[in-house]
Amino acid sequence: MDVKEIKSTVSNLEKSTDNETILKLLNILNDGVQPSEKLLRETKVGVAVNKYRSNSSSEISNLVKKMIRKWKEVVQSEKSMKKLKENAPAAPASSASPASVGADSKRPEAGSTNSKFHNGPRNPKTDGVNTAIYENTTRNGSLSALYTALAIERDDDSKKILNVAKEIETEVYKAEYSQVNDSYRNKLRTFTMNLRNKRNPELRGRLLEGTITPQAFTKMTPNEMAPEALKQEIEKLNKQNLFDAQGATEKRAVTDRFTCGKCKHKKVSYYQMQTRSADEPLTTFCTCENCGNRWKFS
């Protein structure tokens, strides 16, 4: 979900009064929000959600506590990584100790998967894949994160996963004029979080099976990357909101049959509603288009 979609969902949440709708909207935010400190500050979604921590429904309050805890952990991890990178000494690109060279030479090449990889979560280390292929540590970290996200619940060849991860990272790097900047980091974070979503196995599958190319993937919006179930839920909610908005609109018509008692003009708009019992006549509400005077009669 992008900032606009999150703000729209938060607005609907604040207007909701029944627990069923509140729970539905909270689940949409839980599935769709890929948290970062900047996103949470900009949308204030955490503040809006936290108001329901003490809701009378245990299902709602438990979900809110889970969401807030998860978002805090992500933001704290983001801060820790940033602090670690700021404090880490820069290692000369050409200095490689004999020990490290020897260690690299013993690493298995990215090839066929091994059954041991599937006894737990897959990542470059468990798959024996070397992702330290660039001089820039941030690029290597991004590549490793993409590999881990793509490998979730997949049995694909590790070489294929690495190639897809490399193509995604390279596309983002090229799009930022071969620079590692804030835009590069934010894009890679968004792509990784969407790929890591356990409710979105279709996205990983489409990438690894070639239905989506890495080039096309890097141009997709968060809404396009969302799980199919979430897309349908958002579309259903938008249609309901549109229907509710249309239902609340007054059906007005302009006529010269009525005369304004204030300015005597005859250009009057009106609409009719049943305000009393069914056997009583409709009430007509009039507005003078000239002076704005309003009146009603039955």
So where are the chain's domains? 1-90+227-249, 103-218, 253-297
Closest CA to 164 of 106, 216, 225: 216
Query: For the domain bounded by 253-297, which CATH number is listed?
Result: 2.20.25.10
- What confidence category does residue 202 fall into, taking pLDDT thresholds of 50, 70 and 90? very high
pLDDT of residue 226: 83
Angle at which helices 158-175 and 137-150 cross, to 10°: 130
SS3 74: helix
Q: What is the pTM of this model?
A: 0.47
Per-residue pLDDT tens over the stretch 7-23: 889 988 888 888 889 99
- Whether the pLDDT of residue 85 is over 80: the answer is no
Q: Could you give phi then psi for residue 125, rounded to 5 degrees?
A: -65, -50
| CATH classification code of 1-90+227-249 | 1.20.930.10
* pLDDT for 251: 61
**Closest C-alpha to 285, from 274, 277, 246:** 274
CA distance 207 to 162: 12
Q: Is the pLDDT of residue 236 over 50?
A: yes
Which of 51-60, 121-130, 277-286 has the weakest average pLDDT? 277-286
List CB contacts of 176: < 8 A, sequence separation 6 or more: 183, 184, 187
